[in-house]
Structure 1
């Protein structure tokens, strides 16, 4: 991916120097709590942020002290941060144009770089959860060490694999701007767990499709993809499918606990967005077959 030399976003906040021992309600979060939250999210489809809040006594997050103000930008010479900032800038360009075609204004998200843990408007975030989007503060949170985990533990290395992850989270931001996130969250609250999980899968697959839409338009405008880049993104989508992750960690799969979709579904919807770059092709919420 020939990314160097392009515009970098001004919407990146570097909180990596803020320390990693944040807490809920003034307390500290333990490694054990993180593990429990991850297991709950994987096995039962429960949002790890919610699990952490409950485990550590945070409740709904009402007594959380959120970091105030914007953090500084990443320092010059930080190549990983420069890459993330460049990809984010391109998502801004692509989605500004696409939303304009829908007579809507695109409000770009902030992207927060952190280490270990971060306080968000949605709850306590941990690097162990991987990158995530918080609709309450319209920020994407990434611990850049996750990209090392992708390459070394999940077998999903490559710069465009990383770009896919970023664009997936931006896809959640697009869903938020379009009002999809709020409607789905309200519906999930009224459903039994298995049905709520199924709805979550549809939302995640739509974000994958929107990532494909971005990739289509990004390549048309810049032509910066190289041979093997698309395969890197497809491999990343495969490695983080619910069935693949459960088979790796448990040795078996529990479909009713899926919250993000199978490897085949994730790659399929990414390809659908990539084929023509049409947002209308990403209506997973009404699709009979995922």
Structure 2
């Protein structure tokens, strides 16, 4: 991916190396299930996290958050990708007659406190609509490379673009509508809605890639394959099979490997957010 020399975003909060409020001790199968779900790209994890962890109000931060001042290469990469999503979605929202509000992206290590609750690194990257921030421990990229066999900078960019996709859904009113519908639905229906939400975010990540390459020629040979490999490596079917040896479709929350790769492809081929309406798609 051609990213060096690109504009850096001022919306990165670097909390790496900071101590945070510690959660209450927990264990048993609940924690194991969270660890399995952890590596999925998440959205608003508060409903799960708050059941197992609670902040200790006596804990204090040991460092000051740094905003927009990143010196390490991986941090710079994240900042450039975030800036690229900003440029892309500002223009697309302008074309829709809307205004794009830029989210913050928080880098952390170990654990973090968000408006959606206390989260540990095992939760994986997530977007919190409560504070309109994306949270990521960059150690996830090592998991993406080693555990999920999906290396490459464009695969890493896909992770960020997916979470920004959730922010786009939030600004368009899709995210709150889905959360409201899920709160009134049975578990299977609620999971099915979440799958559609996640697949749409994959498609929106593809839309970003289309416009980023068209405007700034960021895509190099092999990059699309990297992103597709990353999308398919974290499909529900593959993760369930790895974790438990069998697949339970009713428990899917993000979609199969094939679905995730296919919806990303839909976005990067069309560049049209309107082609990402998973909620009206006859076949996911």
Q: Is TM > 0.5 for Structure 1 vs Structure 2?
A: yes
Matched with 1:183 is 177
Which segment is superposed worse, 216-225 or 74-83?
A: 74-83
Q: Which residue of 1 aligns with 2:126?
A: 132
State the Cα distance separating 1:215 from its structure 2 match: 0.3
Partner of 2:204: 210
Between 1:87-96 and 1:29-38, the stretch displaced more is 29-38
User: What is the aligned partner in structure 2 of residue 10 from structure 1?
Assistant: 10
Aligned to 1:220: 214
SS in 2 for 1:112: strand
1:87 to 81, 86, 94: 81
Listed as ranges, the matches of 1:111-190 within 5 Å are 111-190=105-184
Task: Provide closer, same or farther for how the CA distance between residues 289 and 220 of structure 1 changes in structure 2, counting only shifts above 3 A.
Answer: same
The 1:31–1:113 alpha-carbon spacing in structure 2 relative to 1, beyond 3 Å, is farther
Deviation at residue 23 of structure 1 after TM alignment: 2.7
CA 1:271 to 1:57, structure 2 compared with 1: closer, same or farther past 3 Å? same
Contact 1:37 1:48 in 2 (8 A): no
CA deviation string 1:221-279 (max 9, x = no partner)? 11121110000000000100000111111111100000000011001100001112001
Give the aligned partner of residue 52 of structure 2: 55
Residue 75 of structure 1 deviates from its aligned partner by 5.0
Deviations 1:189-213 (A, max 9, x none): 0100011000000000000000000
The 1:46/1:195 distance shift into structure 2, 3 A limit, reads: farther
Once the two structures are TM-superposed, the CA of residue 120 in structure 1 deviates from its matched residue by 0.5
Does the C-alpha gap of structure 1 residues 220 and 57 become closer, same or farther in structure 2, counting only changes over 3 Å?
A: closer
CA distance in 1, matches of 2:25, 2:17: 18
Which of 35, 39, 47 lines up with 1:38 in the alignment?
35
Matched pairs, number: 279
Structure 1 position 288, deviation (Å):
1.4
Aligned to 1:23: 22
SS of corresponding position for 1:17: coil
Secondary structure of 2:67 counterpart: coil
Structure 2: 5+ residue stretches without partners: none
Cα shift at 1:17:
2.4
Q: Deviations over 1:47-101 (max 9, x none)?
A: 754233112367xxxx89998xx82136553000000000000000000000000
Within the candidate set 263, 267, 270, 2:261 is matched to 267
Measure, in 2, the Cα distance between the counterparts of 1:85 and 1:130: 18
Structure-2 separation of matches of 1:96 and 1:265: 28
Q: CA deviation at 1:124?
A: 1.3
Change in 2 beyond 3 A, CA 1:41/1:195? farther
Query: After the TM superposition, which parts of structure 1 deviate over 4 Å for at least 4 consecutive aligned residues?
Result: 28-34, 39-42, 45-48, 63-67
SS in 2 for 1:18: coil
Pick closer, same or farther for the CA change 1:255–1:75 going to 2, 3 Å. same
